[in-house]
Amino acid sequence: MARKLHRLPKIGNKPNEDEFYHQPGTVPGTIFIDADAPEPIIFLIDYNQTDFIREQIATPEECAPYLDSESISWVDVQGLGSQDILQRLGKVFELHPLVLEDVVNVPTRPKTEDYEDQLLFICRMVVPKERTCGFYSEQVSLILGKNYLLTIQEEPEHDCFERVRSRIEKGRGIIRKQGADYLAYAVLDAIIDGFFPVLEIYGERIEELEEEVLVRPTPQTLQNIYQIRRELLQLRRAIWPQRDAINSLIRDGSKVIGEEVQIYLRHCYDHAVQVMEIVETYRELASGLMDVYLSAVSNKMNEIIKVLTIVSSIFIPLTFVAGIYGMNFNTEKSPYNMPELNWYWGYPLCLAVMGAIAFGLLLFFWRRGWLQNSVVIKRN
């Protein structure tokens, strides 16, 4: 019987891929069906060097005749919303209960498990969004047998396998001359290579943010940096265990994977390492952007304070002069009571002195280089 997973509380708005957990005491092999999961759609591709079949099938039992043939069968299940179909699929492919549990109860950490005549490989697949920045992320499970490959995806809307399907259909390359293990490698390689278009988008976004941080930093810039850091963390959590799983598969081997395909897996591992290095580099750049943003905001504030200080410094002596001559003393009582008030050129002379003080201060500030820095900031 399907049971629901319990949800862990979130801390702030931070995404949590492992937000579900099994209730203590749950029987191993229990399947948890998400209420929002789409209904499974099953596609079959069966081929050899001369023949090719590609069709959508209605029931898992229709796969059974192909599994006993000498041709290579690829069964692609898209969607995890039906407990009945998934359990029937497990019977047709003779899946261990723990295999079915790992496949259905998402998210499962990327890993590889060897079950004698079957090999389970669980990984994360990312696909870039078309109209907005970001990516779709879902779990993909590969179950490799002697002459078949079973892939199970979370969602039916998007994947990165179309080029593999096209190569099989058109007979390009050596894929139709190889066994199911090479097909599994091709699918896994397509999943790893699917990270590169996503990383290319993030590289462009980081370049745009670098210019924005240096020229016109805003609070929205800070939010964009935080968002990129969170999304890069998701990519890191996807590719890191995936790389380790591929390395484990190369190191330990499996009897359902030939020696020739082992060499191809090294190539796949190299791509995973490259993706990991790019993700780490982008995370360091995003962290650096945070420091640059804080420095830019602090420098901008310092320049504003400096300009205001310069203006205040100019008006302080002018205010002093204006304050003195704003005092009310009777000049008739004493010759020392502001005799300048009776001068014929007293008012123009006072303005001239105030202007000379202002000009002298501006010249002093310019000689010290304070005004020059302010002008540069304003031009930027």
Phi/psi of residue 149, each to 5°?
A: -135, 125
Domain boundary among 253, 275, 294: 294
pLDDT at 197 over 50: yes
pLDDT at 165 over 90: yes
Res 120: pLDDT: 93
Average pLDDT of the residues in 53-79: 91
Phi/psi of residue 150, each to 5°?
A: -110, 120
CATH at residue 279: 3.30.460.20
In a domain, 116, yes or no: yes
- Surface-to-core class of residue 144, CB atoms within 10 Å of its CB (0-12 exposed, 13-18 middle, 19+ buried): buried
52 with 166, same domain: the answer is: yes
pLDDT at 301 over 90: no
280 with 358, same domain: the answer is: no
As a whole number, the mean pLDDT across the chain is 84
Q: What percent of the chain has pLDDT over 70?
A: 89
Query: 115 pLDDT band (50/70/90 cuts)?
Result: confident
265 with 129, same domain: the answer is: yes
Flag the least confident range among 162-166, 173-177, 329-333, 351-355.
329-333
15 with 153, same domain: the answer is: yes
Query: 15 pLDDT band (50/70/90 cuts)?
Result: very low
161 with 249, same domain: the answer is: yes
150: part of which helix (H) or strand (E)? strand 148-153
- Surface-to-core class of residue 7, CB atoms within 10 Å of its CB (0-12 exposed, 13-18 middle, 19+ buried): exposed
pLDDT at 49 over 60: yes
275: part of which helix (H) or strand (E)? helix 259-324
CATH at residue 341: 1.20.58.340
In a domain, 1, yes or no: no
- Surface-to-core class of residue 280, CB atoms within 10 Å of its CB (0-12 exposed, 13-18 middle, 19+ buried): middle
Tally the domains of the chain: 2
Query: 360 pLDDT band (50/70/90 cuts)?
Result: confident
Residue pair 2/83 in contact (Cβ under 8 Å)? The answer is yes
311 with 289, same domain: the answer is: no
pLDDT tens for each residue of 83-96? 899 999 999 999 98
270 with 345, same domain: the answer is: no
44 with 104, same domain: the answer is: yes
Domain boundary among 294, 322, 352: 294
68 with 90, same domain: the answer is: yes
pLDDT tens for each residue of 261-275? 989 999 999 999 999
225 with 344, same domain: the answer is: no
- Residue 327's domain comprises 299-379
Flag the least confident range among 135-139, 204-208, 343-347.
343-347
320 with 212, same domain: the answer is: no
pLDDT at 54 over 90: yes
**The whole model's pTM is what?**
0.76
Res 235: pLDDT: 92
Domain boundary among 272, 294, 316: 294
279 with 339, same domain: the answer is: no
DSSP bridge partners of 142: 121, 151
Res 378: pLDDT: 40
